[in-house]
Amino acid sequence: MPKGKKPRSTTAPHAAAARPGPEATRRLLVRNIGHLVTMDASRRVLRNAWVLAEDGWVRKVGEGRVPRVEGAEILDARGGIVTPGMVNTHHHMFQNLARAFRPISNLPLLPWLAGHIPLWRRFTPDDLFVATQVACVELMLSGCTMTSDHHYLFPRDGAGDVLDAGFHAAADLGIRYVGCRGSVNQPSDIMPEWSTQDLDVILADCARLHGRFHDARPGSMAQVAFAPCTVFGCSGEHYAESARLARSLGARLHTHCGETIPENRDAVERLGTRPLAYMARHGWEGDDVWLAHGIHFTDAEVRRLGRTRTGVAHCPVSNMRLGSGVCRVNDLRATGATVSLGVDGSASNDSGHLLNEARAALLLTRVQHGAGAMTPEQALELATIGGARNLGRSADLGSIEPGKCADLAVFPAEDVFSNGAHDPVHGLVLCHARNVDALVVHGRVRVRDGRVVGLELPPLLERHRRVARRFHDGVKKG
Ligand SMILES: [Zn+2]
């Protein structure tokens, strides 16, 4: 946001959105920060630091003496490490209900997908609500302040306005949410007829959701992206029309691409071209497009992604779990493509811990290129700045500096797994991933003392377990 311009509050239909009104300025002072990882242009890490937020926006950042601020809410960071709120750029939250699902625990992508789709025949908006709440709690406790959710499951019978439940579940908890309206319009061996929809139904729902939930303004808490699932479930017309509609409305575009070799091979046999070229032919490249996984790209494809500024959501844990391969993170970054992180769905992760994803990205890139291939700071870049860029929010999110949203993850300085770490910031990534002490979203404390504010977690987890069992039992009964 330009200097001197008064930040606008958002009026999105979201519980955490700041609304204009006669009330006094809302101030939050975060003090006693041992290390403040700003992710600003010079990547400064401030010691003994503080952050002052006003009405959801960072007003001042400093080191040493803490200013006296009348009427400010105080958050004591207890000497901890503060990073910008992390951004999750790929997820399927409904899959929380198929975590460690034994029938598919040891399968690669396509049989794995075919193996869990039958679970969802009777999926309802209430099911998505509870799965989304647990998925969001996991993310918040792991430092995430903005998440996307690629939801492509719309059973033909009685699904109703499924993704609306995702928006409500996230709004309830106060996390920023990008609902990616997923879709499949071509039945296949993997996606049966009941899991597909006609293209006109899909596009109408995209437009409806956009009208209802999308807030394009700086500080937005809720946005909508359009997200056909993959080239094996979606026609060329589906891709082309989704892109046309998204661009007419100013929405972003998301899909899977290059996750496995069989998927690339199948596209060549069936469509006569590799998925990336196929998508490009239908308008799917540019800085308003981000692709999930992006593992199996040729050198020319990597250069093309860089040239067109098309983004990639790297999901290292899911890629390892499914044995899909290793994303060419450094090659992509070298060409100018934006790389961010995604936890991916919990049927293939099987936990949505975003800080752990940064650690996995570092380790996996080092497996590929050696110990110097990725620093802890670079892993944190993927989780913060990279995520903000891929979700189109680099102007207001991704770093802690005046004029940006006050989205902060407050991690304890150390825990038993990181005790005595020589460099606390390196320890945050190199040591076993820890949970936050506190989380601030748009200047509001959403996690305090390691707990989501206002949420009774045990009843939510009990309800989630019950729903998960219902799906598991449904499959057993056939
Ligand atoms: Zn995915």
For 24-81, the pLDDT digits (tens) are: 899 999 999 999 999 999 999 999 999 999 999 999 999 999 999 999 999 999 999 9
Report CA(435)–ligand 1 centroid distance (Å): 24
pLDDT grade for 450, boundaries at 50, 70 and 90: very high
Which CATH superfamily, name and number, covers 86-390? Answer: Metal-dependent hydrolases (3.20.20.140)
404 and 58 in contact (C-beta within 8 Å)?
Answer: yes
Report CA(293)–ligand 1 centroid distance (Å): 8
Rounded CA separation 127/132 (Å): 8
Report CA(288)–ligand 1 centroid distance (Å): 18
Q: Is the pLDDT of residue 126 over 90?
A: yes
Structurally, what CATH architecture does the domain formed by 27-84+397-452 represent? Roll (2.30)
Least confident of 7-16, 125-134, 441-450: 7-16
Report CA(90)–ligand 1 centroid distance (Å): 6
Q: Is the pLDDT of residue 167 over 90?
A: yes
Which residues lie closer than 8 Å to 192 by C-beta, 6 or more apart? Answer: 117
Report CA(153)–ligand 1 centroid distance (Å): 12
List strands edge to edge, sheet with 144-151. 86-88, 144-151, 176-183, 222-228, 252-257, 289-293, 311-314, 339-341
Tell me how many helices (H) and strands (E) the chain has.
15, 17
Q: Is the pLDDT of residue 477 over 60?
A: no
Report CA(434)–ligand 1 centroid distance (Å): 24
Could you tell me what percent of the chain has a pLDDT over 70? 94
Report CA(67)–ligand 1 centroid distance (Å): 45
For 188-247, the pLDDT digits (tens) are: 989 999 999 999 999 999 999 999 999 999 999 999 999 999 999 999 999 999 999 999
Residues with CB under 5 A from ligand 1 (ion): 292
Report CA(256)–ligand 1 centroid distance (Å): 6
Report CA(86)–ligand 1 centroid distance (Å): 19
Report CA(150)–ligand 1 centroid distance (Å): 7
Of all helices (H) and strands (E), which one includes residue 141? Answer: helix 125-141
Average pLDDT of the chain, as a whole number: 94
Rounded CA separation 478/472 (Å): 10
If one counts every other C-beta atom within 10 angstroms of the C-beta of residue 106, the result is 11
Q: SS3 for 331?
A: helix
Report CA(151)–ligand 1 centroid distance (Å): 9
Find the DSSP H helices in 143-215: 162-173, 199-213
* Rg of the chain taking only CA atoms, in angstroms: 21
Report CA(425)–ligand 1 centroid distance (Å): 30
- Residue 232 identity (one-letter amino acid): F
Report CA(91)–ligand 1 centroid distance (Å): 6
Report CA(5)–ligand 1 centroid distance (Å): 38
257-276: average pLDDT: 96
Which residues lie closer than 8 Å to 191 by C-beta, 6 or more apart? Answer: 117, 184, 229, 233
Q: Is the pLDDT of residue 99 over 90?
A: yes
Report CA(142)–ligand 1 centroid distance (Å): 20
Which residues lie closer than 8 Å to 90 by C-beta, 6 or more apart? Answer: 148, 150, 254, 292, 293, 313, 315, 342, 343, 344
pLDDT at 91: 98
Report CA(159)–ligand 1 centroid distance (Å): 21
* Strand positions, DSSP E, 89-242: 144-151, 176-183, 222-228
Report CA(249)–ligand 1 centroid distance (Å): 24
If one counts every other C-beta atom within 10 angstroms of the C-beta of residue 279, the result is 26
User: Is the pTM above the cut of 0.75?
Assistant: yes
User: What ranges do the domains of the chain cover?
Assistant: 27-84+397-452, 86-390
pLDDT grade for 161, boundaries at 50, 70 and 90: confident
